[in-house]
Structure 1
Amino acid sequence: MEIFNKIYFLEGIYKTKKDLEPIYPKLEEHRDSKYIDYLSIQDDGKVTFGTIPNGQQTSKSFHRITDDKFNGVLVREKNSIYIYREVMLHSVLGLGGGKRIIKQKVSIKDGNYIYIQNENNCFVYRPVN
């Protein structure tokens, strides 16, 4: 089960019973279908989360994803895998803003699917190829 040097796209977001145990069916997504959320994992553990346009040029866009930019790191701690991820905090009514690092539990399941726990939601990514 090789997860490194691959690109994954967001298959769905699910509510969870416990960490990394999705409740089906997936949640309704409010994301514009003109875009695809992706995840790229490099062999050195660097992780890139991003969005690319959906359509005829999608496969070309995946090939242009570079290894020099990343916004997360995949690490093993004891018997678990985590992503330390940089997220942008949006200012609401003049409160907050800036960046923050969050820790998300990760599981690799079902033939290279990547499950990422984010509070009460599980983000499921599947390989592009």
Structure 2
Amino acid sequence: MEITLTTPALLFPALSLLLLAFTNRFLGLASLIRNLKDRYATSRNKLVYSQIENLRERLLLIRNMQAFGSLSMFGCVLCMFLLFADYIVAGKYVFAFSLVMMLISLALAIREIQISVKALELELNDLEEKSTQ
């Protein structure tokens, strides 16, 4: 496989957008956690506590998504440096490492979305229980 200096640079826009999306998810969760914490402090509602537990798991996933995405970006920059210095074989290995880090980050994003859906199901189940009472 032929790899040039521009090959790892092709990942920059995708990685930048992914990291921005992950940061936005983190900020949204942080705000939601603060609101739910206040709600739980006043009501001691079991549903609110379940939501907070769900958000705790999602926060850990987002942290890891950001870490693996950042490692992927770091690997791309290192790959470009190695290719620039004519270390082609090392550059290929580092690029492969970057791709693996990006795959892991995306896999964690899929898992986080699944957990997010579970949180919404908790809300819908609570709504259904209240409507049948």
Scaled by the length of structure 1, the TM-score of the pair is 0.22
Q: Which has the larger radius of gyration?
A: 2
* Bigger helix share: 2
TM-score, normalised by the number of residues in structure 2: 0.22
Higher share of residues assigned strand: 1
